[in-house]
């Protein structure tokens, strides 16, 4: 079975080389993920495997994949439950008025 990420050699059209400003949430996603590594709660190899296993891999941006994979690992390891993540997410949405 070839993973969804394993695209080498597939026709993909021109490479989009445009840059974008790194957003605050992306910096935070990076920081949290690396902090969890340093704390010994997950590893880079596990994170990579979790990213490759994301069902909506192709629809996510780079750091969206990081966040989704980190959440998946924390739930998988029993450190957080999906409900806790969803509750906190809803609370943040209320507080910051996000859509």
Partner 1 sequence: MTTFEPGDRVRVRPADKPGHVRTPAYLRGKAGWVDSTLGEFRNPEDLAYGLCGAPERHLYKVGFRQADVWSDYEGPADDRLYADIYEQWLEPDRGGTA
Report the interface residues with partner 1, using CB under 8 A: 1-3, 6, 8-9, 43, 45-46, 48-49, 52, 77
Tokens at 22, concatenated: 């790194």
| Number of Cβ atoms within 10 Å of the Cβ of 47 | 20
- Pick 26 or 75: Cβ nearer partner 1: 75
Query: Smallest Cα–Cα separation from 3: which of 53, 47, 45?
Result: 53
Least separation in angstroms between CB 99 and partner 1? 35
Least separation in angstroms between CB 46 and partner 1? 6
Least separation in angstroms between CB 26 and partner 1? 24
- Pick 2 or 19: Cβ nearer partner 1: 2
Residue 85: phi, psi to the nearest 5? Answer: -65, -45
């Amino acid at each position: 079975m070839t993973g969804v990420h394993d695209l080498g050699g597939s026709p993909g059209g021109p490479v989009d080389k445009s840059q974008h400003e790194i957003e605050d949430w992306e910096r935070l996603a990076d920081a949290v993920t690396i902090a969890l590594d340093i704390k010994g709660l997950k590893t880079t190899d596990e994170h990579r495997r979790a990213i490759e296993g994301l069902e909506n891999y192709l629809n996510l941006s780079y750091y969206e994949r990081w966040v989704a994979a980190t959440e998946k690992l924390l739930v998988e390891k029993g450190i957080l439950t999906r409900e806790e993540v969803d509750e906190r997410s809803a609370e943040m949405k209320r507080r910051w008025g996000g859509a």
